[in-house]
Amino acid sequence: MVEALTYRLSAHTTADDATRYRAEAEVSAHWALDPLHRLRIYLGARGWWTKDDEEALIARCRAEVDTARDAYLALPPPRPTDMFDHLYATLPPALAAQRAAVETEADHG
């Protein structure tokens, strides 16, 4: 069993301003303890991880995220009836009327 204390280094969300409730010194102290950060220092000190390696990795990750984001943005807008598609294996007849009403409203809306 591993019991580990963890620390959130970034803000909770893009709407969260973490400086409201914690000091910069507290956050930077935790950055120094971050295992990923420490592993990079360790690998770098032994010459197993160079600046070029890191830049290449970041570029690859960024491209992967950009591709995923572009794929999402290219999706057609969801149809209002999508709400009903995965509620049950088979839409119960009792819900068919609601689905039809949504379809009608979407056509008129």
Contact 91, 99 (CB under 8 A): yes
Q: Is 100 in the site for other proteins (CB under 8 A)?
A: no
Stretch that binds other proteins, among 28-36, 41-49, 58-66, 81-89 (CB under 8 A): 81-89
Q: Is 82 in the site for other proteins (CB under 8 A)?
A: yes
Please tell me whether residue 75 adopts helix, strand or coil conformation: coil
Q: How far is CA 23 from the centre of its chain?
A: 25
Give residues in contact with other proteins (CB under 8 A).
Answer: 20-21, 77-78, 80, 82-84, 87, 95, 98, 102, 105-106, 108-109
